[in-house]
Amino acid sequence: MDIRSFVWALVLFSIVGAYFAIRAAIRTMQAARKLSFYSLRKQQNASAWRLLGLCIFLLGFAFWMPNYGEPLIYVYYPPSLTPSLTPTITLTPTISLTPTITTTPTLTHTPSVTDTPTPTSTPFLPSAIEALFTGPVTPNPEAVFGAMQFSTNFDGLNAIAPQTTFQAPFQKIYGVFAYNNTIPGVQWSALWWRDTGVGERKLVCYETQPWNGGTGGGGGYTECQDPVGGWLAGDYEVQIFMGYDWKVIGRFKVLGELTTSVPEVTATITETLSATPTP
């Protein structure tokens, strides 16, 4: 039995014990009312109140154990490492555009930003995101995350054909990563930022919730679909936090839609003069 199963077993026993305690307290109070001697009735009522206090304690313990007791146990007894599958990418396909017009387009798309990432300050959580926390915020200090891979397709474990540059239009991007030494239930967050090109960033997607994965493995992911303002061209950065500690950063670029000119056909009329002989 692992630690998580042991914790939930204690919760179940506490709830059952609280049920029997409250039932015994009710029966003791009912029996005390039937006694004619004051001292015996007082003893029975005292026993009933003690049983009621035991019931309240067991219910409080059942609430405290999975929310605060389990993370505290993991601090002193870190979970064992779980072997994880490391995906091996043998081929990275590239997207090639097949033009449908045989003429040479006169307009081409020129990215407004370069591939060199802009240095940023230490990542931090906005106060508006912290206000949404519902779980514990103390992660395992030995928790680690692998490098993020981005793709528009995800099979539940690996990113399919990961890329660092995406050509619009598309709807959703997945950020996939491996993890280890994580504690279930600890609050984690993912922030998707877009560089506005004027030295500022804009939060276009986010998610924050208690960690519902295991203690280690692959297939961890965050996703962003149809962000605020749409997928605009520019540099994007994804930040992963466990509690208030950031763990990994991933970056990718979005290029705008290609624009091509429509070939124009110009008709040329050539007049031919011929001489007609007269009699």
Cβ neighbors of 11 (< 8 A, separation 6 or more) are 62, 65, 66
| 127-255: CATH topology | Immunoglobulin-like (2.60.40)
Radius of gyration of the chain (CA): 33
Place of tokens 């560089």: 195
In the chain, domain spans:
3-76, 127-255
Cβ neighbors of 78 (< 8 A, separation 6 or more) are 140, 142, 181
Helix (H, G, I), strand (E, B) or coil at 123: coil
Query: What's the pLDDT at 217?
Result: 83
Query: What's the pLDDT at 7?
Result: 83
Which amino acid type is present at position 22? I
* Spatial separation of the C-alpha atoms in residues 22 and 41, rounded to whole Å: 18
Banded pLDDT at 260 (limits 50, 70, 90): low
Q: State the DSSP string of 234-259.
A: EEEEEEEEETTEEEEEEEEEEE----
* Spatial separation of the C-alpha atoms in residues 211 and 6, rounded to whole Å: 19
Predicted confidence (pLDDT) at residue 146 exceeds the cutoff of 70: yes
The string of pLDDT tens digits covering residues 28-74 is 888 888 887 888 888 888 988 999 999 999 999 889 888 887 888 87
Mean pLDDT of the chain: 80
Global confidence as pTM = 0.51
Rounded (5°) CA angle 247-248-254: 150
Predicted confidence (pLDDT) at residue 82 exceeds the cutoff of 80: no
CA-to-CA dists, residue 107 to 103, 104, 254, angstroms: 12, 9, 19
Nearest to 183 by CA among 85, 82, 109, 46: 82
The string of pLDDT tens digits covering residues 178-220 is 999 999 999 999 999 999 887 788 999 999 999 988 888 888 9
